[in-house]
Amino acid sequence: MGKKEWWKTIFDGLYLVTDARSVMSDELTAREMDFVLEFTGATKDWDILDLCGGQGRHAQELFRRGFEKATVYDFSDYLVNYGKKKCDGNVCFIRGDARDVGVKDGSFDLVTIMGNSFGYFPDDNENLKILEEAMRVLRGGGIVLLDIIDRDFVKKNFRSRSVHRATLPESLNGNSEITVTRTRKIEGNIVNSREVVKGEDGGVMKDNRYCERLYGKEEIAALLNSVGFGGVTIEMGRAFYNRPGDFGFMESRMMIKGKKL
């Protein structure tokens, strides 16, 4: 079982290296936002909240396209501070727990939860709190967008182990190579993972354990309906990479939108 509340500590500077193929790629981010804007119909006058938005890569892409009202909300001190330094000054960052966002009701036209950032809790009641917050902070007619693990793809194409190499930047020990080994096990609708990061000398730099809840198409639709979202639309098997490789849970994704009626 993944460590309880693993999400409180895992998203640090090393995460931006081990997951750089996904979370540090401007090209990938642009392709993702091409889809999001078409799927949701968002226009430049919308107020957008990127919930669990990390270092703000999607918000920054919105500003590149002329959007001026984007807010990033994330728990990680490191990612929020990193984003404040790297992103356009107009991007607003807030640190906190997605289950209790703390902004006033009806503040946004669109809430996005990207990059498999939904489903961190094995207990559905905790995941439900995030959707309830999205409902609360949306204006009438507003849209929530989830970008989550495609459970059917994962189970059909399950790989219990993957290995890739990455290069540390100067700020983290200067251009040395690291090896990232991930092992995975599915237990019911929970996938438990372990990530071991080793340096060039073979020493362990990090040993992470984490878990994510897997949802089927009908199940996630029912969850959104239970909060009050209507018009739920789901696209399965979305792939945004333009090169082969094992990209873990990001390889094929389920994109869901619901409307606050």
Domains in the chain, please, with CATH? 6-149+216-260 (3.40.50.150), 155-209 (no CATH)
Alpha helices in the chain (DSSP H): 15-18, 20-23, 26-40, 57-64, 77-86, 124-137, 151-156, 217-227
Q: Which two tokens stand for residue 171?
A: 């700020």
Reported confidence tier of residue 251, pLDDT bands at 50, 70, 90: confident
133-165 pLDDT, tens digit per residue, is 999 999 999 999 999 989 988 888 888 999 999
Check whether 50 has a pLDDT greater than 70: yes
Identify whether the C-beta of residue 230 lies closer than 8 Å to the C-beta of residue 257: no
Instruction: Indicate the average pLDDT of the chain.
Output: 91
Alpha carbons 122 and 139: distance in angstroms, whole number: 29
**pLDDT value at 54 more than 90:** yes
pLDDT, one tens digit per residue, over 195-224 is 999 998 899 999 999 999 999 999 999 999
Tens digit of pLDDT for each residue in 64-113? 999 989 999 999 999 999 999 988 767 899 999 999 999 999 999 999 99
- Confidence band, pLDDT 50/70/90 cuts, at residue 240: confident
DSSP string covering 145-195, please?
EEEEE-HHHHHHT--SEEEEEEE--GGGTSS-EEEEEEEEEEETTEEEEEE
Residue 19 has pLDDT above 80, yes or no: yes
Q: What is the value of pTM for the model shown?
A: 0.93
Q: Say what the pLDDT of residue 2 is.
A: 47
Residue 1: per-residue pLDDT: 41
For residues 205 and 219, give the distance between their C-alpha atoms in angstroms, rounded to a whole number. 38
Strands laid side by side in the 177-187 sheet: 161-167, 177-187, 190-198, 204-213
